[in-house]
Amino acid sequence: MRALAGRSLVRVGPLSVPVRRRPVVVAGVLFVLLAGAVVISLSLGTPYVAPGDVLRSLSGAGTPYDLVVRDLRLPRAVLAALAGAAFGVAGTLIQSVARNPLASPDVIGVTQGAGLAATVALTSGAAAVLVAPAALVGGLVAALLVFALGARHGLAAQRFVLAGVAVAFALRALTEVVMLAADPIDGLRAQLWLIGTLAGKGWAEAAWIAGTLAVLLPVLLWAGWALRSTALDDDTARGIGLRPVARRVGLAATGVLAAATVTAQVGAVDFVALVAPQVARRLVRAERPPLLCSALLGALLLVLADLAGRRLFAPTQLPAGVLTAAIGGPYLIFLLLRTRGRRS
């Protein structure tokens, strides 16, 4: 039917959802790639474990590699996938609300708020367990500040982004002041946190992120539908019976919550939230970033970045945050060049 604009209708019980073929195919391919990347990530390292043995170990067959695969490498790979997915979700929501492909949690101040709080915790001798909660609170407080500053015109796109950039710069400056005044060793630890690393992290961190995503899941199901109206201007949206300001606040708050949670657990990993939605949008050729594909792409990107960080200069380990920009940046440039000149 022409009115469905190239979609097929999926009906399951009371559900009736038009679906385009391309995003489904892209999501399928991304999922396979992600599974492959996780297996490779479990396989490479010292000792090397053949992919066949990785799969046998994962299936619970009991192999000599169980300790390496299941206890040492699996938690970190799962954490990378979950954190990447959460970054992808956060980026999609914030970019859509801001109507700006450059807006992401690390541009609008959430990451910097978390960074300042974590730096204070790390350099003031607070207990290590307090770093993540402090970062979570820091990220959320920064977001509240941005919302308050951007609220005057109903969280209008440009004002929201400008307020975010201003808050981000101010918080970064404060972080540097704290770092310069701190003991050099503590300062280094803070710096590593600010880059973002998965080293030494595993199930506990993954559980926090998974829990948050699970709690947000009903909201995300709604968001996948609500996001399509963010491209309309407010008058048009009100005309068709929507409440655009309430929607923006709801979507942005969901994105901020996901971003603050994941940043608190793995540190200020740059670029995943920025690049995953934009690459996903170009892959599915849609007018806005697709939620599920962005999450899968974020997961794939962070798994690959962590793997590259572990293996490229082994035995020296690079933090994943260094590699995300190195992998994601060139790919986005490639896509921009490829789609130049034709409308996607």
Partner 1 sequence: MTAMLSTRDLVAGYEARTVLDGLDLDLPADAFTVIVGPNACGKSTLLRTMARLLTPRRGAVLLDGTAIRDLPTREVARRLGVLPQSPLVPEGITVADLVGRGRQPYQRWWRQWSTEDGRAVEEALAMADVAGLADRPVDTLSGGQRQRVWIAMTLAQDTEALLLDEPTTFLDLAHQVEVLDLLHRLRAERGRTVVAVLHDLNQAARYADHLVAMRAGAVVAAGPPREILTADLVRDVFGLDCVVVPCPVTGAPLVVPARTQTSAVPAATPAPAGASVGDA
Q: Write out the residues near partner 1 by the rule CB under 8 A.
A: 1-6, 9, 14-18, 221-222, 224-226, 228-229, 231-236, 238-243, 285-288, 343-344
Closest distance to partner 1 from the beta carbon of 322 (Å): 33
Closest distance to partner 1 from the beta carbon of 152 (Å): 11
Question: Token pair 């541009």 is at which residue?
Answer: 107
Closest distance to partner 1 from the beta carbon of 218 (Å): 10
Q: Which is nearer to partner 1, 16 or 46 (CB)?
A: 16
3-class secondary-structure state, position 316: coil
| 200 HSE (CA, 13 A, CB side) | 8
Q: Which is nearer to partner 1, 8 or 124 (CB)?
A: 8
Closest distance to partner 1 from the beta carbon of 14 (Å): 6
| 179 HSE (CA, 13 A, CB side) | 19
Q: Kindly report the backbone phi and psi dihedral angles of residue 183, in degrees, each rounded to the nearest multiple of 5, phi listed first.
A: -60, 135
Q: Which is nearer to partner 1, 2 or 125 (CB)?
A: 2
Q: Which is nearer to partner 1, 6 or 133 (CB)?
A: 6
Closest distance to partner 1 from the beta carbon of 239 (Å): 4
Q: Which is nearer to partner 1, 245 or 322 (CB)?
A: 245
| Calpha distance 125→54 (Å, rounded) | 40
| Calpha distance 133→284 (Å, rounded) | 36
Burial 5-20 (b: 16+ CB within 10 A, else e): eeeeeeeeeeeeeeeb
Q: Which is nearer to partner 1, 67 or 243 (CB)?
A: 243
Pair 330, 300: CB distance under 8 Å: no
Length of the chain as a residue count: 344
Tokens of 196: 């973002």
> What amino acid occupies position 19?
V
Tokens of 113: 């708020």
Closest distance to partner 1 from the beta carbon of 300 (Å): 24
